[in-house]
Structure 1
């Protein structure tokens, strides 16, 4: 996601990025434009740069600045499984640390447009001051202590707890670079996560003993101690500008890396490219001249926000938000099942019931109802079980399906089943039921184990079955 803002040289950088992202990066680009006339000019410039225009979409929504990373939607997945898979996309927003109301409103606009929940974390913040590692069951976040200055009423522990609560991240706070070195004090100006075990950190080749160089060195050592592969890339200052090579954009198999024409910085363009190629030998590394924008204290990572793909690929994302905490229900209870979904082409839904803790779902409660409604009412059936779970199945127009199950078993206080009624026609006991029991017994099926000592089939089990048969069914 980008905002079509700034001087002509900045727009040229955006157009080049859109070209590479939509072609080499195999991704979409969402462009925020202020007016319909700006949409026309942006479309022409991006097309002329060579972008795949089928992957570019424009949204007429006013923004104040180009710095999308600082205010754009930061994504999480809700309802993932224990391995971190599945779930639906949602947005964690913050109050932008600049008086730019149009920028600050973008996450809510985007969430409403795409039917994605938006959660406001109570922090004043700029998104460039944040990196994260995914992880299971918990990930890790990284920010400078600029965040503490932006939120003076909160302790470090309270700030960290907010990120823990909203994003399931354990966050480390670092000493920011002095503002005379980097006016933003954002972590993305000197560090970037490459993978959950790889990181790239600036190395101050011309000022190795400066306090900010020591901050970078200490951070690199801390990651190495955690088992990370650490890559160091040059960083320099010239004329009051911080020239960084970590402020890059990673998009699928594409990496966009800044280059510069400044005489002090340009001598490290090739060195930086070599480090990136070493870090990502299987990705395409593209350099884009960012001299025009770096003097404004930001480069390419600062002017984009990533929008992740839905978790299930082509299939709908689905997260059932109710019936996840156990509990007890009576037959005939009116139940409301709610869900979130992540696919614009969802059509219908089915609701299934398991009585064995989710091993099987043989009971269909409802089928073919509106999958886009996000809510469905149904009646609890007369079944006796302490191990019930639900499965919600979503279908889309392309024939894809996905499902989400209850997180915990619940109890249905229904009429106990008739022990002796094992064969059709159910509801009447006859010779077929006796035959069915003997088949279970001869097969040493645990279902035939009706009497102590349990775990062994013997005469007492046969006697218990015959007693139940003679007692009949209620």
Structure 2
């Protein structure tokens, strides 16, 4: 025992020296690889799962706090995140140098009213991987956080969720004790708010027999049970790891933007992780359905190469536009250079009308975050609101002319729902009409509206018995869903279905993006 302790202390001191002398990447450093087998990942705090059913929040739901860890060599990137964040919610900054951060933000003209400083030790900037995840008891009840064992030997990072829970007086459930000692990481997790979640098979490898974390070996069924007990995940979709993504975090190549829609990185044919990503998505489409019981919709967004044209299979960084984060009505997207960013940001704005889409450069010479294997989603996390008004609706994509259609939504709040409405208008008009919704059964609210010959834009609004109000999409009335009415002619098809060309003007090649097109598609350019 004494020999082991001496060895462990020596390695830990070596690790601390590494932290002081250099920033930690998203992946393991060589020093961390040396100490990982001796590091004590599992704890003995005996945190049982919640005693009532819980629901893991989706990222597009309303949040109260954006949380980050301040690392000084990324001042510019973090300042832009805070500038956008304080317009939407409160921002909690973990730092031990509040004065310096205050000066940086103040000099940037940022009002600190919505900024909260948490003076706490930390090891790295990658808070997505080690912060807690918001859950709600009985779907919309009391708020809590669930924290897994962080898959890095970074002891200070692993206690940050405890700091958040203490600061905000929020219950914290931790999967750190056998048989529930689950190793997991936030970059490899996405939830739809309905009990479905995505991950890579890294979650299996990190908890299998012989794992390097010295946690109890678990079968896939046991992992699934822990995720259900602590987070309410009932369908845990796991995809094959990618050959060139060395950290195997799904947020580096895909993003769930609503209950049924995925945004996925696309590479040129046969390049880098493109073939495996395509195979994984096809596997999902062939074997899984959304929480609505319908196939997932997939929107592909081009992954940019380096300025010299390199992708991850020939020395390029893992550049991606899917490593974005929702902050209520704002979406923060990593950017690289205007020639590739402009079409990507245009695509994001087309997919998410009404949202404030903000690009933040992660590939500049002074603050090259992407070279450390992460981007914007990786260095941010969030904590949901204390009293969620939860609206779930499957958008209606099309309808025949001159017909009545039924719009339904599941609407819940802890105090109950007082009333709800559908607001709708014909495309090209400015004034919404209001149609009251009626409670039909089991929190399902419904209303019938009549469409004529023009496409219709609509959103859903609800008021809780407590007086709280919220819309879905959360950006309404500026953002909305669109019903395409009748059979589209060529002009309407172009306006509502085709985005592009990108780039414009073009040289050697040109690209168009097609939205909501099912079945075979033949394109002829003359």
- With the shorter chain as reference, the TM-score category is 0.5 to 0.7
Deviations 1:38-76 (A, max 9, x none): 111111212233333111111101110000000011110
Name which of 228, 231, 254 aligns with 1:191.
254
Contact 1:145/1:175 (<8 A) preserved: yes
With over 3 angstroms needed to count, the CA separation of the structure-2 counterparts of 1:21 and 1:5, relative to structure 1, is: closer
Instruction: Say which of 145, 148, 162 aligns to 2:204.
Output: 148
State the 1:206 CA deviation.
5.5
**Pair 1:318–1:134, CA change in 2 (3 A):** closer
**Are residues 241 and 72 of structure 1, via their aligned partners in 2, closer, same or farther at CA, if it must alter by over 3 Å?**
same
Match of 2:480 in 1: none
Question: Aligned equivalents of 1:293 and 1:214: distance in 2?
Answer: 26
The answer to whether 1:172 aligns with 2:237 is yes
Q: Deviations over 1:408-441 (max 9, x none)?
A: xxxxxxxxxxxxxxxxxxxxxxxxxxxxxxxxxx
Aligned equivalents of 1:259, 1:119: Cα separation in 2: 35
In structure 2, the CA distance between the partners of 1:311 and 1:12, relative to structure 1 (3 Å rule), is: same
**1:233 is aligned to 2:301:** yes
Q: How does 1:89-168 map to 2 (within 5 A)?
A: 89-121=143-175, 122-135=181-194, 139-152=195-208, 153-168=217-232
Q: CA deviation at 1:151?
A: 0.7
Match of 2:326 in 1: 250
Q: Which has the higher contact order (CA 8 A, sep 6+)?
A: 2
Structure 1's unaligned 5+ residue stretches are 320-399, 403-474
Q: Are residues 1:31 and 2:99 paired? A: no
CA distance in 2, matches of 1:213, 1:260: 22
Distance apart, 1:5 and its partner CA: 4.0
Structure 1 residue 214, shift from structure 2 partner = 2.6
In the aligned structure 1, how far is the partner of 2:383 from the partner of 2:252?
21
- Alignment partner of 1:306: what SS? strand
Distance 2:78 2:375 in 1: 11
Q: Distance in 2 between matches of 1:252 and 1:4?
A: 20
CA distance in 2, matches of 1:257, 1:176: 24
Report the CA distance shift for 1:55/1:267 in structure 2 as closer, same or farther (over 3 A). same
Alignment partner of 2:376 out of 277, 297, 300: 300
What is the TM-score when the length of structure 1 is the normalising length? Answer: 0.59
Task: Look up the SS of the partner of 1:44 in the other structure.
Answer: helix
- 1:275-286 equivalences under 5 Å are 275-286=347-358
Contact 2:285 2:296 survives alignment (8 Å): no
Q: Deviations over 1:116-172 (max 9, x none)?
A: 11111221121111000112xxx1011111011111111112111111111111211
Alignment of 1:197-236 (within 5 A): 197-205=260-268, 207=270, 210-218=274-282, 221-222=285-286, 226-236=294-304
Written as runs of structure 1 = structure 2, the 5 A alignment for 1:456-467 is: none
- Quick one: distance in 1 between partners of 2:186 and 2:357? 24
Residue 366 of structure 1: aligned partner: none
Alignment of 1:47-446 (within 5 A): 47-78=106-137, 80=138, 84-85=139-140, 87-121=141-175, 122-135=181-194, 139-152=195-208, 153-169=217-233, 170-178=235-243, 181-205=244-268, 207=270, 210-218=274-282, 221-222=285-286, 226-236=294-304, 237=311, 239-261=315-337, 267-291=339-363, 292-311=368-387
Question: How many angstroms apart in 2 are the aligned matches of 1:12 and 1:206?
Answer: 35
How much has 1:318 moved relative to structure 2? 7.9
What are the superposed Cα offsets for residues 444-469 of structure 1, whole Å, 9 maximum, x if unpaired?
Answer: xxxxxxxxxxxxxxxxxxxxxxxxxx
Name the residue aligned to 1:331: none
- Helix, strand or coil at the partner of 2:222: helix
TM-score (normalised: structure 2) = 0.53
Residues 224/50 of structure 1: CA separation in 2 closer, same or farther (3 Å cut): farther
Cα RMSD over matched residues? 2.5
State how far apart, in whole Å, the 2-side matches of 1:40 and 1:109 are. 20
**Matched length:** 299
Please give the secondary structure, in 2, of the residue aligned with 1:165: helix
